[in-house]
Amino acid sequence: MVSCKTKPKKLAELNIQANEYLMNEDLENANKVLFQAIEIDKSNPYIKYRLIGVYAHQDSIDKAFEVLKEISTEQKNADFYHLKASMHELKGQKKEAFTLYNKALDLTDTIDVKNNNDISALISYARLETLAGKKEQAVAKLNKALKLDWLSYNHRDLLEFFRNEFEYYQGNGNSELDDPKNDITIKTTNPDSLKIVLKENHINISGSSSGRKDTTEIYFSEKYRNGLEKLNIKNAP
């Protein structure tokens, strides 16, 4: 039994333990620790959201939905609908996911960018817009932010990367945005010049490696195929 006085400390300890287990991909023990935390604080939906994340990694989507049912009506905010949408997505239920992403968007405040600290929140909002079928709005927001003269180099780089991802988004949900694939391979002897052209045309690189005879192999996700073809950049045989 945990007293009211020791409750915050115990929850903090369990949170640290859960983080360590998740970093080590020890999902079974992460699951156990999160269950302990829920027993201490049953009213905190965010502990349950973390448990749902564990179930998602374990492909136990039905269990994730059971936990979602435990969230009270008054706690069903944008985070709830966003998470529920992603669970429907994992079940291949794109229509239900799309509806829920839009509900989450309706409940999310727009971001007023005042400094570099607001950039991550802006990207998250634009990502939600993209998932909700409003990628043009998302891209416009990020392009507007890219015109700010006080942006740090790292934040500008981050904005450009996600602007490109959203601009070429093909409607395949979080997996498309979170897990870029090396679907296309381009071989070049002048990678620096090619990268300049790609940057100018909003095309992200998934990775690269050194090939034979001074060639470099550069990899791209499938969604950039049309952009590459417009530039007459050919896929390696």
Divide the 237 residues of the chain into consecutive groups of 10 and give the mean pLDDT of each group: 73 93 95 94 94 95 96 96 96 96 97 96 98 98 97 97 97 88 89 94 93 86 94 73
Please state, in angstroms and rounded to a whole number, the distance separating the CA atoms of residues 138 and 169.
11
Do residues 12 and 36 lie in contact, with contact meaning Cβ atoms separated by under 8 Å?
no
Please state, in angstroms and rounded to a whole number, the distance separating the CA atoms of residues 58 and 217.
34
Do residues 167 and 136 lie in contact, with contact meaning Cβ atoms separated by under 8 Å?
no
Q: What are the strands of the beta sheet with 184-188, ordered from one edge?
A: 184-188, 216-220, 207-210
Q: What is the pLDDT of residue 4?
A: 64
User: What size, in residues, is the chain?
Assistant: 237
Q: What is the pLDDT of residue 237?
A: 47
Please state, in angstroms and rounded to a whole number, the distance separating the CA atoms of residues 117 and 168.
26
Do residues 147 and 141 lie in contact, with contact meaning Cβ atoms separated by under 8 Å?
no
Do residues 216 and 210 lie in contact, with contact meaning Cβ atoms separated by under 8 Å?
yes
Residue recorded with tokens 């965010």: 46
What are the structure tokens assigned to 48, written together?
Answer: 């349950």
Q: What is the pLDDT of residue 8?
A: 85
Residues 93/94/97/99 CA torsion (nearest 10 deg)? -120
Please state, in angstroms and rounded to a whole number, the distance separating the CA atoms of residues 209 and 219.
9
